[in-house]
Amino acid sequence: MTINARTLAIVERPICRITSVCPPMRDIIERHQVWAYLIAVVLGLFVGWKTSPGEVGPDYMIWTLLGILLYTTFTQTPLTHLSEVFRDRQFMGALLTGNFVVMPAITALLVLALPDNDALKLGLLLVLLMPCTDWFVTFTHLGKGDSTRAVAATPVLLVAQLALLPLYLWLFLGSQFGVNLEFGRHLLPAFVGLIIVPLILAFLTHKWAEDSRKASRFIRLTGLMPVPLLTVILFIVSMTQASQIASTGGIVWILMILFPTYLLAAALVGKGLRQIFRLSPETGRTVVFSLGTRNSFVVLPLALSMPEAWAAAVVVIVVQSLVELFGMMFYLRWVPDRLLPNT
């Protein structure tokens, strides 16, 4: 069932209302967001190479900031109307087909380009087979996609990847893969901390705003926060991962070809699915951002928990996360302006 024009009007009205205050300030922030992200990444890499920042503090800081980032993004979404969006079968069909049929097939082809190293293959499979369930929502919002549909899609994406990832790993690696990844121990806390808790808090904030002008002003204020928060996160991630990238040698150059290739393929697949499923440009952008963003922050702890023999998998995930960050900067302009414009 597709969402008709009347339903879309009902769903979009709250988000238009809560994001229309302080437009000059918000417009300025979002107009210069790409430069802010680029400076954050470059500065973070420089600081990480010149110093040896501690790991425990920044790791906890990233998780905390990601949770706040998702909360501020969720507050800009009309959560009370998610049920209507969730029943959009065309959108869900495009999303699931792209993430769990088309892109895994493309990932299988990319694996063939890697050296004969099981750890490298595992790292690439782990990160490219896991659709993002956190900042995908933020990038969708910043890239003029449909953040309401993005929020509705996150639990579906998580359940599907939890169910299918072991099957994919068995198909692609077979008996060579003998490491216990302990999926539940890592993914369930990540999902609760980064998705469920911010989502519940944002929903309660919306309910509070129905009867409180103060809460409404607070929601409008949170609309200014996603870009600055994401800028800080990018700096910390780049800083803490710089040393690992510097120590990888020739592996990085192979990955620097494969991951941009994946991002280009994801965008083209998203555009094709948008035409096949007859989605609006805004909804099509949501599909593109979903196919392009991966769960690197969630799978990284999985890779770190494995024995030393599989350490190269960590390098793959680290490099992918940074390539994706640069790719999303490009996506934010290219997808709404060129790939899937409104006209």
Residues 332, 68, 233, CA angle at the centre, nearest 5°? 55
What phi, psi does 133 have (nearest 5°)?
-125, 15
According to DSSP, residue 8 is labeled H
Percent of the chain with pLDDT over 70: 83
pLDDT, tens digit, 9 for 90 and up, residues 281-327: 999 999 999 999 998 877 877 776 677 777 788 889 988 988 998 99
Band of the pLDDT at 342, cuts 50, 70, 90? very high
Instruction: Report d(CA 343, CA 337) in Å as an integer.
Output: 10
What number of other Cβ atoms are within 10 A of residue 328's Cβ? 24
Q: Domains of the chain by range and CATH?
A: 31-334 (1.20.1530.20)
CA-based R_g, the chain, Å: 19
Residue 58: pLDDT over 60: no
The amino acid present at 134, given as its one-letter code, is D
Torsion on CA atoms 97, 100, 102, 106, rounded to nearest 10: 170
User: Whole-number mean pLDDT of the chain?
Assistant: 82
Q: DSSP string spanning 122-189?
A: HHHHHHHSSB-SSHHHHHHHHTTS-HHHHHHHHHHHHHHHHHHHHHHHHHHHGGG------HHHHHHH
Cα end-to-end span (Å), the chain? 25
Can you list the alpha helix ranges (DSSP code H) found in the chain?
5-18, 23-31, 33-50, 56-74, 82-86, 89-97, 103-112, 118-128, 135-142, 147-173, 183-191, 197-209, 213-222, 226-246, 251-276, 281-292, 296-304, 312-334
pLDDT, greater one: 146 or 162: 146
107 contacts 128 by C-beta, under 8 angstroms = yes
Note the pTM of the prediction, 2 decimals. 0.79
pLDDT, tens digit, 9 for 90 and up, residues 177-199: 554 455 556 666 777 777 788 88
Q: Is 6 helix (H, G, I), strand (E, B) or coil?
A: helix
